[in-house]
Amino acid sequence: MRLVMLALIATGLVAQALAGEPAEVSERARKIHDAGLLFDGHNDLPYRLRKAGDMAFSKIDISKRLSDGHTDIPRLREGGVKAQFWSVYVPSEQKNPARTVTEQIDLVYRMIEKYPDVFELAISADDVERIAKAGKIASLIGIEGGVAIENDLAQLRAFATLGARYMTLTHNDNLDWADAATDAPAHDGLTPFGERVVKEMNRLGMLVDISHVSPATMADALRVSKAPVIASHSNAYAIAAHVRNVPDNILKGVKQNGGVVMINFSSGFVHPGLAKTIMTARKELRATHPDAESFGKAMEAWYKEHKELPHGTISDVADHIDHIKNLIGIDHIGLGADYDGVTSLPVGLDDVSTYPRLTDELLRRGYSESDIHKILGGNVLRAFRKAGEIAKTLQKTTAPEVDQPAKEVDKH
């Protein structure tokens, strides 16, 4: 028993074992955390508000601590969040996807207008630093799902003009120009049009996001992109073998590219055993539900039938960070928790107020203050700044491409 307790102490989980919660954050961890720039890569609050039918902020006041969900202003402050990519998500099957994303971009603007003492729009790395220094939360826009551009580079440019600074190339389903991680391969990565999308994102200063895409698409994006790429909310496949996570060979490519993998807190992508269970279920259901709609419904039913699935732990999350650090170095790790976009979170990482607990865990594992500050946001800020610098150069030398009609978009 004594050995068990010592092991729990070593991983910071004594309080979790005794009372269902991790130990209190140490004073040293809190100081280091507060001194850093916590710049999270992915939060789905805009889509949560859209689903709740509160596009006008008339029902939900996020200035107050809410009894549900993962995000509100009091908890953002408690968690030390200083910069946030707000995800403007569109399901792959959504009709009028460009309009859906535009409405969510508008929601982010109105959130900033509603709470001007808390949020301010950021479109550059300099903006992020200035806004955070002023005590506000730098608010950036990230599009989740390349279906949003409707096979049209003009639409991509319009989103960039509205302030979007990354785009996840796919969501769960393949597009005409890119393969997704959770769909059957159709193009072996990016098509020629998909490569044009990546090049135009480079020219616009939009980070190319390889979360949700297949390994072949990841490899193609790394090959084509002149700017650092990000995985805005993904983990290490070697630790938890879910297709949403990043394989080691791709991680090595991220290092060469100067990019950043931002760690997702979803239990299914964090917990090794749960990832294996989910992938087994996906394989079995895919065999009997070949079309996307019926498969999606079958997976939804499976989750409802398996409500007692295990949760991850803070230690599990740190294991992913350890693996990436050991494989490609400290300069390529960030955080993209996916709050308000997932249903199962690691014990102790329940909402946006809990980030300091991860800082405490990293300190216990021997990470330095400098290392932690890089993970919290220094690495993604560096990648974002570099993408902006490359965009300025490309805009001087490269003109926007004129699109073919959408029906002529290539496939192979």
Q: What is each CA distance from 247 to 92, 109, 219, 231, 258, in whole angstroms?
A: 24, 36, 11, 12, 17
Active site residue 44: yes
Active site residue 171: yes
- Residue 12 gets the label, from left (phi > 0), alpha (psi -120 to 50) or beta, of left
Active site residue 320: no
Active site residue 338: yes
The H-or-E segment that residue 88 falls in is: strand 81-89
Map out the domains of the chain as residue ranges. 37-271+310-398
Catalytic residue among 44, 127, 322, 351: 44
pLDDT at residue number 112: 97
Most confident of 40-44, 45-49, 287-291: 40-44
Whether 4 has a pLDDT exceeding 60, the answer reads no
The pLDDT confidence band at residue 7, using thresholds 50, 70 and 90, is: very low
- pLDDT tens digits, residue range 137-166? 999 999 999 999 999 999 999 999 999 999
Catalytic residue among 33, 70, 187, 233: 233
pTM, full prediction:
0.91
Catalytic residue among 33, 42, 70, 271: 42
Mean pLDDT in the chain?
91
- pLDDT tens digits, residue range 262-273? 999 999 999 998
pLDDT at residue number 19: 36
The answer to which of 40-54, 66-80, 354-368 has the lowest mean pLDDT is 40-54
Bigger pLDDT: 403 or 159? 159
Which residue in the block uniquely carries the two structure tokens 């992938």? 279
What are all long-range contacts of 162-165, with beta carbons under 8 Å and residues at least 24 apart? 162/102, 162/105, 163/105, 163/121, 163/123, 164/88, 164/105, 164/206, 165/85, 165/123, 165/140, 165/141, 165/205, 165/206, 165/207, 165/384
Active site residue 212: yes
- In degrees and rounded to multiples of 5, residue 138 shows phi and psi of -65, 125
pLDDT at residue number 18: 35
pLDDT at residue number 304: 79
What homologous superfamily is domain 37-271+310-398 in, according to CATH?
Metal-dependent hydrolases (3.20.20.140)
Mean pLDDT of 38-46: 97
Whether 44 has a pLDDT exceeding 60, the answer reads yes
Active site residue 373: no
Catalytic residue among 209, 220, 322, 338: 338
Bigger pLDDT: 56 or 351? 351
Catalytic residue among 72, 127, 144, 183: 144
